[in-house]
């Protein structure tokens, strides 16, 4: 398999063809942007429901909102979510110790932070992909990829075949495409895990508050609409096989009931194990090239970080924006294009991954004099710059 292939734009009258594997944030975003430029895009997604019904909530900071505005969905996102501009730090009993103003990393004309229900964000992006005219096939995966000097031949799980100028691997943390093209980097657990649930919004909750200490490392919540929130509790990771999913609500409630403030009201709604999600934190960063020939990685396939900075979706959306910019402004889809994409993204992503992991490691190690404000300030100020 060649590592450097030239893929010039086709002659007048022709249209470049792209396959996007995975319909999460980065896959949906790059599809919308490429279709806007007139590029033919097929998008396949393994889940038959396109992940439109799963997940509790998501915290989006300004640099993520900037890309969502670029996609043309900001008005729907703004109307569906809950915007705020500060972060509270609390004691376990709910006493607010201090409130910090959030930096507006997307610019002064966008909120610093917006929480929203994850399924609602996914549906907004799905609608935009559908409206773009992309060819979408759900419940479909790739069986084989074969590259040559002129393109990529793909055989799909449903027996269909396709031929493409480029394949974009947006198939997530455990990307099968990444492995198929010989990129051997794999995600590694950091030692932490998170319990999450969606719940009604208590009256008066208008920002994220984080409580440190108690039986968990962090207990936090984020308003996601006028009526909803998502709440989360972070602890040391446990063997997932040893936790019966039927006990998920009991496990999360046991941790949550130790916290004051809004938590007693939230805890009343932790009663259905099917609505509680338990996930390990992972660190993942492909340091080497993010492409092999005509196959290129975006989003979690290339990198993933703990949600301690709430920047996972933002980094994935920025990948899509930068890659689409390069693909739609250059005449040659060659090795230099993908090398430039990697060079623009890697330092910024590495900064976020390392900082996110460091915040968690300080908690795991019980470091009490860690320079958390300094690390947060440096990182967030850097994210104000455009990717």
Domains of the chain: 7-81+118-186+289-383 (3.50.50.60), 192-280 (3.30.9.30)
Instruction: Please report, in tens digits, the pLDDT of each residue of the chain (387 residues total).
Output: 333 333 434 433 468 999 999 999 999 999 999 999 999 999 999 999 999 998 899 999 999 999 999 999 999 999 999 999 999 999 999 999 999 999 999 999 999 999 999 999 999 999 999 999 999 999 999 999 999 988 999 999 999 999 999 999 999 999 999 999 999 999 999 999 999 999 999 999 999 999 999 999 999 999 999 999 999 999 999 998 899 999 999 999 999 999 999 999 999 999 999 999 999 999 999 999 999 999 999 999 999 999 999 999 999 999 999 999 999 999 999 999 999 999 999 999 999 999 999 999 999 999 999 999 999 999 999 999 999
Instruction: Give me the residues paired with residue 332 across strands.
Output: 8
Among 385, 283, 289, 285, residue whose Cα is nearest residue 342: 289
pLDDT of amino acid 14: 67
pLDDT of amino acid 336: 97
Burial class (CB in 10 A: 0-12, 13-18, 19+), 287: exposed
Tokens coding 55: 């997940």
pLDDT of amino acid 240: 84
d(CA 66, CA 81): 15
Does pTM surpass 0.75? yes
pLDDT of amino acid 149: 86
Q: Which residue has the tokens 């004309």?
A: 109
**CA atoms 366, 376, 306, 295: torsion sign:** negative
Cβ-contact 231, 199 below 8 angstroms: yes
Burial class (CB in 10 A: 0-12, 13-18, 19+), 221: buried
């Amino acid at each position: 398999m060649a590592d450097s292939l030239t893929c010039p734009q086709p002659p007048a009258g022709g249209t470049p063809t792209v396959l996007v594997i995975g319909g999460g944030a980065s896959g949906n975003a790059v599809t919308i942007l490429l279709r806007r430029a007139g590029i033919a895009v097929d998008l396949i997604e393994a889940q038959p429901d396109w992940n439109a019904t799963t997940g509790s909530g998501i915290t989006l900071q300004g640099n993520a909102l900037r890309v969502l505005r670029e996609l043309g969905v900001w008005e729907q996102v703004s109307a569906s979510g809950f915007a705020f501009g500060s972060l509270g730090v609390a004691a376990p009993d709910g006493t607010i110790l201090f409130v910090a103003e959030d930096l507006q990393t997307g610019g002064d004309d966008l909120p610093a932070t917006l929480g929203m229900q994850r399924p609602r964000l996914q549906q907004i992006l799905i609608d935009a992909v559908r409206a773009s005219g992309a060819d979408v096939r759900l419940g479909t995966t790739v069986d084989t990829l074969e590259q040559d000097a002129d393109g990529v031949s793909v055989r799909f799980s449903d027996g269909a075949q396709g031929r493409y100028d480029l394949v974009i691997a947006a198939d997530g943390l455990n990307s099968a495409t990444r492995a198929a093209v010989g990129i051997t980097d794999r995600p590694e657990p950091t030692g932490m895990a998170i319990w999450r649930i969606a719940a009604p919004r208590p009256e008066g909750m208008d920002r994220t508050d984080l409580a440190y200490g108690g039986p968990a490392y962090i207990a936090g919540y984020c308003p996601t609409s006028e009526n909803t929130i998502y709440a989360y509790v972070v602890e040391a990771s446990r063997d997932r096989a040893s936790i019966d999913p039927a006990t998920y609500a009991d496990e999360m409630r046991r941790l949550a009931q130790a916290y004051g403030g809004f938590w007693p009201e939230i805890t009343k709604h932790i009663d259905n194990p099917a609505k509680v999600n338990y996930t390990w934190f992972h660190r993942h960063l492909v340091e080497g090239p993010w492409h092999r020939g005509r196959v290129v990685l975006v989003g979690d396939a290339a990198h993933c970080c703990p949600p301690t900075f709430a920047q996972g979706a933002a980094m994935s959306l920025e990948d899509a924006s930068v890659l689409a910019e390069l693909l739609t402004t250059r005449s040659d889809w060659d090795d230099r294009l993908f090398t430039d994409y990697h060079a623009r993204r890697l330092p910024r992503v590495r900064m976020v991954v390392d900082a996110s992991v460091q915040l968690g490691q300080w908690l795991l190690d019980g470091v009490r004099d860690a320079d958390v404000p300094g690390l947060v300030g440096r990182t967030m100020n850097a994210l104000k710059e455009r990717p």
